[in-house]
Amino acid sequence: MSADQTYYLTIALINIILAFAGTRINDTEGKTQSIPFLIGSFLAFAISWFLYSLELNIFIEVTSTILSTVFVWGITVFSFKRCEVKTPWRLISCLFLANITIQTFFTIEHNINYVLHTASIFTPIAFCLSGHLFLKKKADRSPSDIIVAYAYFSLTAVVITRSILLETSSALFSLTMASSQIIWPIFSVILGVFFLLSFTEEAQKKLTTEVITDTLTGLFNRRMFDEQFKRLLPTLSRDKHFGALIYLDLDGFKSVNDEYGHNIGDKVLLEFGSRLNQSSRGKEVIARIGGDEFVLLVENAGQDRTTAHQSALGLAQRIQSLMKEPINIDGLMLQIDCSIGIHILTPDAKNVPLEVKAADAAMYQAKKDQHHRIVFSDNLNKPRYNILNIGIVEIDREHQNIDNLLNSLLEKKTDLTTGFPFLIKMVDLHFKNEVKISKRLRLNFSKEHHLHHTYLLDSLKKIGLKESEHVIREHLLMFIKLLEEHIKKYDRNLNIEVVEIKKMG
């Protein structure tokens, strides 16, 4: 086998590999089928190169010419399909037939110069069309698409330049002969590889979008909202400005779902999400975090609480104004309002769940008082927290002492610097006494119960006095919730055992 035959077989093999690689990818769901044209084009190109490795005759030369033309116009059709632009079949068919007819004629006549000139006319037309599509018409262009576009333009320049040199400088044209043997294989590899990468990048982008967005409304989902919120808190602390969390819930949405079905309900949610985007100034994080619950995270509402309050209120009123406009769904006119809770985020804010809980509480208060109201978390009546009693006098007495101290700290009646360390000692002593009381009463004090004591005490000790008073008190609220859950799950079981022992006695 000669060096030329080896060269032709190598290029043919490269194109076959690229064609078969195309079978391992899929067009994105809902998009025009383009991959069959990609595979067919590279297979045609592979065969056209393979034929040159055989003993040449006029039939093989003509067949190879036709197949190489199929490659050029095949990937042009692929480009239209891939970029989701309507394929001008009549125009492409005419150019394709003209290209084949003229090149076949000059091939039969053994007029290689005119074969090259013909290619320098039709190939640039095809490749400039394809390059333009990838560079200007394709939605959501990826870096690979841009590389493909410039590969088209680069080869166009090479083909035209060689045609000009053939007529103006035979010496320079001869120098390009060797380079032309390299250019086509390189072009094939660049196109094939970056076509495949384009599909991969599109799939990755689609997957990322599905992970961070709500599939119905296209807004951020709860996961992305939490991530954005976590990123915001250090910014508030660093820049010393205030943010705002606006929590929204649709009024009467359940009745719409019940009366008209989920299909209409989904369209209502979609329209609501669209109107939220309209009301936004472009700087807010908007997310759907539940069935008919939405949030807006305002990253910078002002340099002080008053300004932040006014800014958040203005935005909430703008949202309500938009929502009051009737929603037209397939001729069905619906009136949907929303209740809004607002929580101002201070530079000291550090706990995402607590901040969300405050906004959520404000929203539920708005919904409870009267639909389509706006309530700030600042205006909520702070309930007094009472730790549950379990019916064992000694334990209940200590629970009450802890409860009194916690409320004293929350209501700022006791100074944190002295009261908080005392609280830790009081809780630690209570847990130890609870173990002693259980042993004395011969109660089954489980290992899990003991481990949860350790967990609660550790969570309390992790609250640092270096934090601001606001943050410490928010942590104390979380501790109260944990303690109440502990009492329900573990301590009440102790009382059940006491009752059973008395019955047995």
Q: Name the residues annotated as catalytic.
A: 292
Q: Are 60 and 108 in contact (CB under 8 A)?
A: no
CB 111: neighbour CB atoms within 10 A?
13
Helix (H) / strand (E) element for 277: namely: helix 262-279
Which tokens is 284 given? 């807010």
CB 281: neighbour CB atoms within 10 A?
9
Which tokens is 325 given? 């406009």
Torsion of Cα atoms, 58 then 62 then 65 then 67, to 10° = -130
The residue whose two tokens read 């998009």 is 31
- Of the chain, the end-to-end C-alpha distance in Å amounts to 104
Angle between helices 3-21 and 35-52 (to 10 degrees): 170
Which tokens is 173 given? 């044209």
Type of residue numbered 48: S
- The Cβ-side half-sphere exposure at 344, using a 13 Å CA radius, reads 23
**Among candidates 93, 77, 94, which has minimal Cα distance to 36?**
77
**Torsional sign, CA 120, 123, 126, 130:** negative
Type of residue numbered 376: F
CB 403: neighbour CB atoms within 10 A?
18
Beta bridge partners, 250, equal 338
**Among candidates 495, 496, 422, 490, which has minimal Cα distance to 455?**
490
Beta bridge partners, 338, equal 250
* Cα gap 67→270, rounded to integer Å: 50
Torsion of Cα atoms, 347 then 352 then 358 then 360, to 10° = 140
φ/ψ region of 20 (left if φ > 0, alpha if ψ in -120 to 50, else beta) reads alpha
Residue-wise burial string across 88-98, b where 16 or more C-beta atoms lie within 10 A, e elsewhere: eeeebeebbee
Total residues found in the chain within this entry: 505
DSSP code for 326: P
* Cα gap 206→496, rounded to integer Å: 54
Q: Is 34 exposed, middle or buried (0-12, 13-18, 19+ CB in 10 A)?
A: buried
